Amino acid sequence: MKETIDQILYSKYKRQIKKEKKIVTIWQVALFLLFIGSWELLSSSRLIDPLLFSSPSKVITLIYTKLGDGSIIGHLSITLFETIIGFLLGTIFGIILASTLWSSKRVANIADPYLVILNAMPKVALGPIIIVALGPGYVSIIMMGAIISVIITALVVYSAFNEVDPNYERVLLSFGASRWQCFKEAVFPATLPTMISTLKVNVGLSWVGVIVGEFLVSKKGLGYLIIYGFQVFDFTLVMSSLVIIAIFAAIMYKLVEKLERWLIKHTVS
Amino acid sequence: MSFLSLEQVSHYYYSPTSYTKALENISFSIADGEFVSIIGPSGCGKSTILSLIARIMEQTEGHIYVDGENINDSSVQIGYMLQQDYLFPWRTIIDNILLGPKINDTISEETHQQIKQLLDDVHLPGTEQQYPDELSGGMRQRIALVRTLITNPNILLLDEPFSALDYVTKLKLENIVSEMIKRYNKTAVLVTHDLGEAISMSDRIILMDAKPGRVAEIFDIPESIRQTEPFYVRRHEEYQQLFDHIWQYVSEDTVGERNHNHEGDN
Ligand SMILES: Nc1ncnc2c1ncn2[C@@H]1O[C@H](COP(=O)(O)OP(=O)(O)OP(=O)(O)O)[C@@H](O)[C@H]1O
Ligand SMILES: [Mg+2]
């Protein structure tokens, strides 16, 4: 008898959760439709300038035709490629830099003011210099995607290294471990969750770096399409590119989130 | 024969704004196979002494010898069980236990058999593939003990290994440890806050003073108590008398009324 009451209460709770979820979804869809609908309406009734703000129907048509002739796939894939590589490089080099700082207190002390300045500096402002140094190609753009996250990754991971309970190292030292062994067996694995959580931040940062990079030099990519559309006054193209960026940035974020969960489950039990 | 000896050891902790004199002129020696307990108020430098013997840090002044050799030149294996278990949460029990052999690159088929034996000894067979957070505090401490013993240390340093346990578990563990130390013939130094534990497990007790940490008194435990298993010592007829005797010194110490004229007694 008692168990059935418990079950009834529990299924009531589950129903409530389901109901709440439904309400949230309905609101989300409604807001989306409202936004698209009013945009379309305002544009077609010329309350806003359709030349500047385009309209959903035009954006969809454009994306559809560009998907059809395949031209957008090229732009999309180059931007995705640059972002992923930039993201990986930024994260990996950030962690390597953090490890170097950890390996020598003196190096860390010497580097400190430079890291503070580099961190405070808006990295995209370095764009022109990077382009001059590496040439106006995708190497520069990948660099921009990487450099934007490398310093902050290094600082976050380095401070996480320092927060690892020194007693884990003491355990290893009592076995006669070297500093490198302490790093490998205690400091690095204890910091994995922090490293994994930087991934999510970095993927967003890399999009910024890459799009700005494409603004500056590229002949290809979504950033280029935005700048090109702006220059030839084709705002439907600008809007279409923005929509595609929004979709793919969200997909990538979700994938990294999945990867994060998987990594946490499989490395830090 | 003195196996491990400290001579005029002092240790300072430095920080940019201040320093702490943790130990002042500590001298004592321990014979091969002897079990010595260190007791004293919190902050008197007990853990510091163990860290120095474990070669985790180097003393500011003085010398530590093992078998007549400077401890840093000696190849003697020293096992140190810290104040908490510090099992690595991301490693399974077996991987935790294998840390020492892994670092010393001595993993063999024999190591695995030994682990099986030791896990049996501490009544935790079959836990190899579990993670530390699946075990209770007392179980974790026993695993930490196995992790310390698997490197076959000649000297075993135990820093309040039983402090976080309920009374019965604690008595049982005292027995297990004491029995294993005798069986494997280890020299052991135990730090504890529990005078009863010190009496029931050791051959000698070193009582320390705080601020700065120094040796206040050394007590020999009578043979009759030493022969008794820890589990039963507390019911031994001589136990209460000895307890009261040492307690006088301990309480004087914590009340802080001692003037340091006991020092020459030993
Ligand atoms: N890493 C450190 N840095 C600075 N001071 C320290 C450090 N470790 C210990 N001390 C100081 O040295 C003294 C002795 O510390 P220690 O940990 O050896 O005491 P203890 O006898 O083990 O105390 P407890 O019984 O509380 O564990 C204390 O005054 C403590 O504040
Ligand atoms: Mg201590």
Q: Which CATH number covers residue A118?
A: 1.10.3720.10
Nearest to A264 by CA among A161, A194, A188, A182: A194
Does B86 contact A167 at a Cβ distance shorter than 8 Å?
A: yes
Same domain, A101 and A9: no
CB of A172 within 8 A of CB of A182? Answer: yes
What is the predicted pLDDT for the residue at B45?
92
Does B99 contact A172 at a Cβ distance shorter than 8 Å?
A: yes
Q: Is the pLDDT of residue B264 over 50?
A: no
Q: How many helices and strands, by DSSP H and E, does chain A display?
A: 12, 0
CB of B204 within 8 A of CB of B218? Answer: yes
Distance (Å) from the C-alpha of residue A92 to the closest C-alpha of chain B?
Answer: 22
Q: Is the pLDDT of residue B259 over 80?
A: no
Residue B258 contacts A, CB cutoff 8 Å? no
Mean pLDDT value of segment A247-267: 86
CA of A159 to the centre of ligand 2 (A): 26
- Residue spans per domain, chain B: 2-76+161-265, 83-153
What residues of chain B, 53 to 92, have a C-beta less than 8 Å from chain A? Answer: 54-56, 78-80, 82, 84, 86, 88-90
Does A175 contact B89 at a Cβ distance shorter than 8 Å?
A: no
Residue-wise pLDDT for A116-158, tens only, equals 999 999 988 988 999 999 988 889 999 999 999 999 999 999 9
Q: Is the pLDDT of residue B266 over 50?
A: no
Average pLDDT over chain B reads 87
CB of B104 within 8 A of CB of B96? Answer: no
Q: d(Cα B150, Cα A168) in Å, to the nearest integer?
A: 18
Same domain, A161 and A209: yes
Same domain, A157 and A70: yes
Residue-wise pLDDT for A4-44, tens only, equals 888 899 999 999 999 999 999 999 999 999 999 999 999 99
CB of B38 within 8 A of CB of B190? Answer: yes
Does A175 contact B90 at a Cβ distance shorter than 8 Å?
A: no
Least confident of A177-181, A200-204, B85-89, B255-259: B255-259
Tell me which residue range forms the domain holding A28: 1-48
Residues 6+ apart with CB under 8 A from A239: A53, A54, A59
pLDDT bin (cut points 50, 70, 90) of residue B170 is confident
Among protein residues, the one whose CA lies closest to atom 28 of ligand 1: B43
Same domain, A43 and A125: no
The CA-based angle B94-B98-B101, given to 5 degrees, is 165
CATH architecture of the domain formed by B2-76+161-265: 3-Layer(aba) Sandwich (3.40)
Distance (Å) from the C-alpha of residue B61 to the closest C-alpha of chain A?
Answer: 21
Q: Is the pLDDT of residue B98 over 70?
A: yes
Q: How many CB atoms lie within 10 A of CB A104?
A: 12
Q: B13 CB less than 6 Å from ligand 1?
A: yes
Q: How many helices and strands, by DSSP H and E, does chain B display?
A: 10, 10
Starting from the CA of residue B211, give the closest ligand: 1
β-pair partners for B28: B6
Same domain, A252 and A186: yes
Same domain, A84 and A24: no
Number of domains chain A contains? 2
**In angstroms, what CA-CA distances link B238 with A87, A120, B39, B251?**
72, 71, 20, 20
CB of B218 within 8 A of CB of B205? Answer: yes
The DSSP 8-state label assigned to residue B84 in this structure reads S
Mean pLDDT value of segment B49-78: 92
Of A165, A167, A176, the CB nearest to B103: A176
Q: B44 CB less than 6 Å from ligand 1?
A: yes
Same domain, A202 and A225: yes
| Model pTM score | 0.82
Nearest to A222 by CA among A2, A109, A74: A74
Radius of gyration of chain B (CA): 19
Q: Is the pLDDT of residue B95 over 90?
A: yes
Nearest to B246 by CA among B194, B170, B195: B195
Residues of chain A contacting B56 with CB distance shorter than 8 Å = 170, 173-174
Q: Is the pLDDT of residue B217 over 70?
A: yes
Mean pLDDT value of segment B126-148: 91
CB of B105 within 8 A of CB of B47? Answer: no
Nearest to B58 by CA among B66, B68, B48: B48
Among protein residues, the one whose CA lies closest to atom 1 of ligand 1: B13
